[in-house]
Each structure stands twice: as structure tokens, then as C-alpha cells.
Amino acid sequence: MRVAVLGCGTVGSALVGILQDRADALAVQSGARFEIAGIAVNDLSVDRPSHVPVGLLTTDAEGLVADPSVGVVVELIGGVVPTEQLIRMALEAGKPVVTANKALLASPEGVRLRSLANERGVDLLYEAAVAGAIPLVRALRESLTGDRIHRVMGIVNGTTNFILTKMSEQGADYADVLAEAQALGLAERDPTADVEGFDAAAKAAILAGVAFGYDVAGAEVMREGITAVRAVDIDFADRFGYVVKLLAIVERTGDDALSVRVHPAMVPKSHPLAGVRDAFNAVFIEGEAAGELMLYGQGAGGLPTASAVVGDLIDATRNLLAGTTAPSPGRLPARLLPEFELQTQYYIGLEVTDRPGVLAAVTKVFGDNDVSIRSMEQEGYAGEARLLFLTHTAREGDVRATLRTLATLDTVERIGGVMRVVGDSG
Amino acid sequence: MRVAVLGCGTVGSALVGILQDRADALAVQSGARFEIAGIAVNDLSVDRPSHVPVGLLTTDAEGLVADPSVGVVVELIGGVVPTEQLIRMALEAGKPVVTANKALLASPEGVRLRSLANERGVDLLYEAAVAGAIPLVRALRESLTGDRIHRVMGIVNGTTNFILTKMSEQGADYADVLAEAQALGLAERDPTADVEGFDAAAKAAILAGVAFGYDVAGAEVMREGITAVRAVDIDFADRFGYVVKLLAIVERTGDDALSVRVHPAMVPKSHPLAGVRDAFNAVFIEGEAAGELMLYGQGAGGLPTASAVVGDLIDATRNLLAGTTAPSPGRLPARLLPEFELQTQYYIGLEVTDRPGVLAAVTKVFGDNDVSIRSMEQEGYAGEARLLFLTHTAREGDVRATLRTLATLDTVERIGGVMRVVGDSG
């Protein structure tokens, strides 16, 4: 089985290493011996690990995909251009494609490629695109396919989980921890894609497809990053038995509506997601029959991601030899829940003037907007006070109306942290 | 697709319910509409949930399996007799079999049935046999098939995890918590299979096959239950940053040797397995490329187990319609590591006479047997003292020799807890 490898970064070169080192075992597993037909790169002059055979490098990605001796294509370039075109060529030629490209899969182009793969009866596999080495896509697509999934919640971005873990364990501020993560190579120089939740939103969109069969694009996902999370919010969360995590959540909210969102959330310490530390990923699944499941592991890195690619490569090869494809039920267009209709619990922190009647005025605003308070804590400091509220389950629109009115009160100096609470009973 | 259901206990009746309630969705997923051909039971007069169609019940299991209209067989009776015979009949007739029968799979008869399935090119699928709803078998068989697995460690018995969790969180004694578990229906009246580790040993044997491709029988597994675990050991573990878990461990110990064992172990609190509470199961996998993975979920119960059965049923049906089978690489006979060759860390608690020179005498015995002490704590009480040791990695044979010699010392009143330490560095 001749394999075209498109891209030779961290994951591509790790993949080449595995295909070399484990050649015999892979042949037994897949039923065919893998042979690298070529490795498409942008620039031949870049330094690469010594195990990458220089003779296989080519800048002609299209020629490589079109090579009639190539049976399967692995796309590890990333982005929408030129990958969409290359994957389309492969699928139209009946060649299965394995990709780790979450940005493409969560784009409208990705949705069309999935349809094309279905029409042509060719595998387009992407275990590596969400949560790296964690066998999540296969679990949802195959093991849980007979179940009715209610909710999938994941820590799917290692950079932000690293930052939140450090903030929580060291009491450190966001900016300091971000700088540390950048120094360690765990955050990009421009961290926007991670810290503003764009990366997690793309993964949430893919999960909506795999777990629920709905076509959702990353741009449609309700999205809030972690840049507004303050040390004081994390400290409050800790005292009340919560940790703060950036979660990608896909949830049924009715027979045919789906809430797909990414935001920081307070998670009870007893929840399995609470113990997921540092750059690890985990996805928590709630199924009608299966109950609660969690899959945990490394969400990024060359070898872990390449290991997921290899699993798909074996799968695609076995399917090709058997003349079949991986299960890929038809997709439905999603009816997404409007943001203001979301129902969840909220944490709200207010800084107020410390004088009589403030609490009554503030709680009246909550009541007027149908937001029920579950617990409140008041801390005084230097003529001011901090009011910390946890609400019962409330409507996002009502909470936003509450916050708008609170901001107009003379006694309210500042609206501090506002964060959704997830995985709790109440 | 006509399905023969053998057995109608908790799992069987939950399966019948899912096949009824989710009929349309399952037809889309599997490519065929499931129809229950019959439900084999021992006794027609037993009361059953109202959704189980009485007209489908039969006491003629053999006749049901042999029915030419039956395409696939689900075995949920348990035990080796008559299930081995029924599964053999099905496989010989080319009918795929889905089973949750861990006792059978871990028996020599189970090994022969797997060979038979391979020879005949018929699926014998058993996701539900280990860790209930957790998609573990498929993850190991498919997603991680290209990886080299170093170690698999699991909490695979919910009853013992419930007991250890309660002992740990309430400081309660084993006997009291066992009685509570029995009252809650979480432990059998005769709890031997759970508390002595027989159930976990069968699952360890199955994992050795799925993760490493070795044929191991449950009876070959090194096994220690939780009946000797004392509140004082759990308390010590807690103070030193550990929790006590009953683990099933399958580990490569050389190119072709495998250590397969079940025993209580002290696990660092920061380890993902440490947070698995109550009756939940979890399996921690260490792969060369994938790194650390953990799969968590409900290990038992009618619906969760039935959900795993349904996943397999869809898989078997899709494979049957496509004329293929699930990957099932050939098995090798295992060379099992002899118990005394095991290398791990140990916790050892001794009760000694509180007089000068005792510590020197005791530590000399450790040193004479090549067991290196990592840390020690001494507690005095009423003329006696308790010495608590953590060793560096040592050989099981050397530790046993140490204990034998310690038992002969005048100053050693009693050897208290001895427990292996797992998942730590050192």
C-alpha cells in the first residue's frame, strides 16, 4: 500500500518514523505493507529529522496525490488551502484520505468534502483532528453509535488547560502564565487561536458531527476564550468546590436543536473533568444507555497525533482491501440553539459600594429577571464589598438582562467575573 | 437481520429494550433492521420487565441458534456451560457472536473459540466483557493497533472500587463497607469472585489478549484480593499522597514476557486512576506513540453493558453485510513473568517492640536482601512502635525473602500491611 504523506512537520515526521519502525507489525494489522510513495513539503531546504528520507521529499503535492501507484493519502499540512483541493483530488480518484486538519473539517469546505467522501464511498478519516491520541472519533462513530448521546463536554485545547491549571495551582495571573506557556513552547507567539477558543470551537463543530450527526461549522459555535478569567474567579471557584476549565460543549436541547459552545466553566471538583491537568485533553460523554464515559489522553504532540493517524491509516487500508468503508451516517443540517436561549447555572461576581440596601437592590434585579440565586457570599474590603453569586439554572438571555440592569445601578462599581457552571446538580 | 438473544437477565432485557426503542436509528447505523428471532431463557415462568415479548421466549437455546433465519447471536447467559457449546454452534454455522461473557473468554475454552472464529472468518466480539460501556476493546483493537503498548492498568471491578472508595472516604473497615455494598446490591451475597480478584483476573486475561496479542487464561493471572486491606494501610497511603485501588495490570516485562496480575496497589493521588470513585471503572493505557490514555465509565449495569453489546452488534452486522470481519490478529502463547521476578515498589508496615536497635536490625534485613528503602516513618504507641516503609523498585522475590526474615526477628511483633505501589516515579 503506497502512502502519500502531505506535510512533514512534527506530526508528519513522527508518522514517517512510526511507518519505518513498526513496518512489520503494521503489515500484520492492516493486511498490506505500507510504503511511503512521497512526502510533499513546501521547502526542500528545511532541516528535518535524520530518519526522514530526503529522496522521498517533493514539492509537487498534486503530482504525488495523482500518482497512480498511491493508494491512500495522509494530509498533515493544515489549513484550508491547498488542502481542500488535494483531498478533493484524492477522494475523486477513490483514494481514502486520513487527515488531522481540524480547521478544514470545521469549515464549509470540510462539510462538502465529507459529503463527497460519502457519495463516492471513500473513507475520509480524522481521529487525529480532535483530542490527538484519544480514540474519541472511533468511540463515538462505532462503539456508541447505537446509543442516544445527550451531551459531550471536552477539554480539547491543551494550551488553555495548561494555563488554567497553573493559574489554579499557583494563584498566578493569566498574563504571567501565558508568558510561561510561550516560553515552554506550549503556546504560540500569537496565542489567539488557543486563548480565544477558536481551536476548541473547530473541535466542538467536529464533535457535533461525529456525536450527533449534525453539520456545524466552527464559525457557528458560540465562543468565549479565557482571557477574561481572573485569579479572583479561580480562587472563588476553589473555595466553593469548583475548578475552572475551558470546555467545548455539544448538547441536545430538544428533539432537533443543538447547543454548541466553547467557554470557561466552573466544574465541580468531584467531576472527572476537574482532575484533567496541564496540557492533557479529555472528553466526557453522557449517553442514554452507556451513562457517563470519559476518554483522557494527550491532545497534541507529534507522536500522539501520529499514533491516531496510524490507527486511521490501518482502518482505511483494511476497508479498502475489503471493499468497504468506515460507518458514516448521513448528516443533518443543525438547528443551533440561539445563545440567549441557553440554560445553565452562572457564577456572577460584583464589586459594590459597602452601604445598607445594596444587597436588596441587587437581588431585586436578579428576581425581576427570573434569575434565581442559589448561594451568595459577601466580602467587605476598604469601603467596598464584593458580592459573589451562584444562580440556579437560568436562561442566558435573562442573565444578560440582569447584568445590563446591574451595570446601571449607582451602587454597583463593577461587574467582575461572570462564568457558567457546568456538571453540577441545581 | 434476525438476532438470537441468549439470556434475559439485567443485560438481556436492557438489550431487548434498546433494540425496540432505537430500531430506526439502529437500522441506519448497521445497514439492516434488527428483528429479535427469539430470547432463550432457562425458565419461562420467571417475571420479566413488561417490554420483553413473552412470545419470543424459548427454553430451546440450541434450536434458536440453529434456526436458519438467525443471522447473528448475542450470548448473555454467562459461564462456560452451555455457552461454549452454543457459541461454537453459531460460529461453525458462520453466524457472528457478540458476548459479554468474561469467564468464558478467559477460560481455555474461550481461547479455542477465538481461534475457531479466526479460522472460520466469523466475528466473535466482546466489548461488553471488560469494563462494561467503556469502548476499551475497540480502542485497543483498532485505534491503538499500530502502537506498541507498554502497560495497561485498570480498575475493572466496580464492587471492590466501591468498597475501597468508602473505606478511604469514611475511614471505615472492610467488613462494614462490604455489608453496606451487599445491602445496596453492589456486592453479591457470596462476594468471593469480586473481593478475591477472580473477576478482575478474568478481565486482565482478556486485556492481555486484546492489548498485547497474547493468549492468557484467567487462572494463570497472579491474583490478590482486597480482603487483607486495612483501614490503617489506607490511612497511611492517604498521608503519603496515595490512594488504594484494586488494579488489573498487564505489562510488558521484556521482548516476549508479560506480567499479568491483580492486586491492591497504592496509586499517587495525582494519577488519573486515583480519581475514579465508587463503582466506576477506568483503564489507563501507556503506549509508545500515543502516550498516556485513560478510558473511564460504568463497568456494569444493564443499560451500560447492553450499550456495548449494541455497538458490537452493529459492527458484526456491518461486517457481515460487507463480507468482512473485525480485525483479529493471530495470538501468541504468552511467556508469563514468574511472580517472584516482578519488579515494583512496595509499602511495608511492621509492628515492632519500641526499644533501641530495632530500626537498625530491621533495616539490615532489607539491605541484606537487596531491598532499598525510599522512605520510612515511625509511630510510637504504648511500648510498641509502627514502622512504615516505602521501598525503591525491588524484586518481589527479594521482598518476600525480606518479609520471611523479618517475621523471625524477636523485635518484630507483626508484619502489617504489605502493598505494591504503582504509577509512581522511583
Comparing C-alpha atoms, which of B347, B358, B367 is closest to residue B410?
Answer: B358
Residues A313 and B146: beta-carbon distance below 8 Å: yes
CATH code: domain of residue A123: 3.40.50.720
User: Could you give the CA distance from residue B241 to residue B423 in angstroms, rounded to a whole number?
Assistant: 12
Domain residue limits at B18: 2-133+302-335
Q: Could you tell me the strand order of the sheet in which B57-58 lies? A: B57-58, B35-40, B2-6, B72-75, B97-99, B124-125
Residues B11 and B74: beta-carbon distance below 8 Å: no
Q: Which residues pair with B152 in a beta bridge?
A: B250, B285
Comparing C-alpha atoms, which of A109, A49, A123 is closest to residue A79?
Answer: A109
Task: Examine residue A82 and say whether the peptide bond preceding it is cis (omega within 30 degrees of 0).
Answer: yes
Task: Examine residue B135 and say whether the peptide bond preceding it is cis (omega within 30 degrees of 0).
Answer: no
Residues in B touching A270 (Cβ below 8 Å): 277
Asked, for residue B366, whether it belongs to a domain, the answer is yes
User: Could you give the CA distance from residue A213 to residue A210 in angstroms, rounded to a whole number?
Assistant: 6
Contacts of A408 (CB under 8 A, 6+ apart): none
Task: Supply the DSSP string of B79-99, one letter for each residue.
Answer: SSTTHHHHHHHHHHTT--EEE
Say what the pLDDT of residue A417 is.
85
Q: Tell me if B147 and A272 make a contact (CB, 8 A cut-off).
A: no
List the single residue in B with minimal CA-CA distance to A291: B304
The SS3 call for residue B108 is: helix
A215-263 per-position pLDDT tens digit: 899 999 999 999 999 998 899 899 889 999 999 999 998 767 899 999 9
CA distance B42 to chain A (A): 26
Report how far Cα B132 is from the mean position of its chain's Cα atoms: 10
Say what the pLDDT of residue B328 is.
73
- At residue A240, φ and ψ (nearest 5 deg) are -95, 10
Q: How far is CA A53 from CA A57, A251, A277, A304, B283, in A?
A: 7, 46, 37, 21, 37
Q: Which of B288, B311, B335 is the last residue of a domain?
A: B335
List the single residue in B with minimal CA-CA distance to A318: B327
Task: Please tell me whether residues B142 and B287 are part of one structural domain.
Answer: yes
Give residue A426's pLDDT band: very low, low, confident or very high (50, 70, 90): very low
Count of CB pairs separated by less than 8 Å, A with B: 181
Contacts of B400 (CB under 8 A, 6+ apart): B340
A122-145 per-position pLDDT tens digit: 999 999 999 888 999 988 888 787
Catalytic residues of A: 203
CA distance A118 to chain B (A): 14
Task: Please tell me whether residues B30 and B103 are part of one structural domain.
Answer: yes
- How confident is the prediction for chain A on average, in pLDDT? 92
Task: Please tell me whether residues A227 and A259 are part of one structural domain.
Answer: yes
Q: Tell me if B22 and A134 make a contact (CB, 8 A cut-off).
A: no
Say what the pLDDT of residue A329 is.
65
User: Could you give the CA distance from residue A34 to residue B24 in angstroms, rounded to a whole number?
Assistant: 39
CA dihedral A151, A157, A158, A164 (to 10 degrees): -80
Asked, for residue B81, whether it belongs to a domain, the answer is yes
Residues in A touching B139 (Cβ below 8 Å): 135, 138-139
Residues in A touching B324 (Cβ below 8 Å): 318, 322, 324
| Catalytic residue selected from B95, B102, B166, B203 | B203
Q: Tell me if B292 and A313 make a contact (CB, 8 A cut-off).
A: no
Contacts of A324 (CB under 8 A, 6+ apart): B318, B322, B324
Asked, for residue A346, whether it belongs to a domain, the answer is yes
- Strand B97-99 versus strand B124-125 pairing type: parallel
Residues in A touching B289 (Cβ below 8 Å): 14, 18, 133, 303-304, 306-307, 310
Q: Flag whether pLDDT at A331 surpasses 80.
A: no
Task: Supply the DSSP string of B353-366, one letter for each residue.
Answer: E-STTHHHHHHHHH
Task: Please tell me whether residues B37 and B124 are part of one structural domain.
Answer: yes
User: Could you give the CA distance from residue A369 to residue A402 in angstroms, rounded to a whole number?
Assistant: 6
Q: How many residues does chain A have?
A: 426
User: Could you give the CA distance from residue A77 to residue A12 in angstroms, rounded to a whole number?
Assistant: 9
User: Could you give the CA distance from residue B278 to residue B163 in angstroms, rounded to a whole number?
Assistant: 8
Q: Running along chain B, 426 residues long, what does each successive block of 10 average in pLDDT? A: 96 96 87 95 93 96 97 96 96 97 94 92 94 89 84 96 95 93 91 96 94 91 94 89 96 86 95 93 95 93 93 92 79 85 94 88 95 90 85 96 95 91 74
Cell, residue B65: 441458534
Residue B327, exposed/middle/buried by CB under 10 A (0-12, 13-18, 19+)?
Answer: middle
Q: Which of A287, A314, A332 is the last residue of a domain?
A: A332
> Looking at A85-99, A197-211, A281-295, B21-35, which range is the least confident one?
B21-35
Residues B95 and B27: beta-carbon distance below 8 Å: no
Residues in B touching A142 (Cβ below 8 Å): 135, 138, 142, 311, 314-315
The SS3 call for residue B179 is: helix
User: Could you give the CA distance from residue B389 to residue B411 in angstroms, rounded to a whole number?
Assistant: 16
Task: Please tell me whether residues B75 and B220 are part of one structural domain.
Answer: no
Q: Tell me if A297 and B308 make a contact (CB, 8 A cut-off).
A: no
Task: Please tell me whether residues B369 and B227 are part of one structural domain.
Answer: no
Asked, for residue B426, whether it belongs to a domain, the answer is no
Task: Count up the domains in chain B and report the number.
Answer: 3
Task: Please tell me whether residues A314 and A372 are part of one structural domain.
Answer: no
Task: Please tell me whether residues A64 and A16 are part of one structural domain.
Answer: yes
Q: Tell me if B296 and A297 make a contact (CB, 8 A cut-off).
A: no
Helix extents (H) in A46-157: 61-66, 83-92, 102-105, 108-120, 136-138
Strands (E), B175-306: 214-215, 222-223, 242-252, 257-268, 280-287, 291-298
Contacts of B356 (CB under 8 A, 6+ apart): none
Q: Out of A18, A143, A147, whose CB is closest to B289?
A: A18
Helices B10-21 and B302-322 meet at what angle, rounded to 10?
Answer: 60
- Strand B335-336 versus strand B222-223 pairing type: unpaired
User: Could you give the CA distance from residue A257 to residue B288 in angstroms, rounded to a whole number?
Assistant: 41
Task: Supply the DSSP string of A196-250, one letter for each residue.
Answer: TSHHHHHHHHHHHHHHH-EE--GGGSEE--STT--HHHHHHHHHTTEEEEEEEEE
Residues in A touching B127 (Cβ below 8 Å): 143
- Strand A394-395 versus strand A343-353 pairing type: antiparallel
Q: Out of B127, B288, B297, whose CB is closest to A293?
A: B297
Cell, residue A135: 480514540
Contacts of B381 (CB under 8 A, 6+ apart): none
List the single residue in B with minimal CA-CA distance to A34: B146
Asked, for residue A325, whether it belongs to a domain, the answer is yes
User: Could you give the CA distance from residue A131 to residue A211 in angstroms, rounded to a whole number?
Assistant: 14
Say what the pLDDT of residue B143 is.
79
CATH code: domain of residue A387: 3.30.70.260
CATH code: domain of residue A161: 3.30.360.10
Task: Please tell me whether residues B44 and B105 are part of one structural domain.
Answer: yes
Task: Please tell me whether residues A234 and A374 are part of one structural domain.
Answer: no
Handedness of CA A187, A189, A193, A196 (dihedral sign): positive
Task: Please tell me whether residues B120 and B147 are part of one structural domain.
Answer: no
Give me the percent of chain A exceeding a pLDDT of 90.
78
Helix extents (H) in B54-197: 61-66, 83-92, 102-105, 108-120, 136-138, 158-170, 174-183, 192-195
List the single residue in A with minimal CA-CA distance to B294: A296
Q: What is the mean pLDDT of residues A145-166?
A: 94
Task: Please tell me whether residues A102 and A183 are part of one structural domain.
Answer: no
Say what the pLDDT of residue A330 is.
64
Q: Tell me if B291 and A270 make a contact (CB, 8 A cut-off).
A: no
Q: Out of B290, B304, B314, whose CB is closest to A297?
A: B290
Residue B166 catalytic?
A: no
Q: Which of B298, B326, B352 is the last residue of a domain?
A: B298
A355: number of Cβ within 10 Å: 10
Q: Flag whether pLDDT at A67 surpasses 90.
A: yes
Asked, for residue A426, whether it belongs to a domain, the answer is no
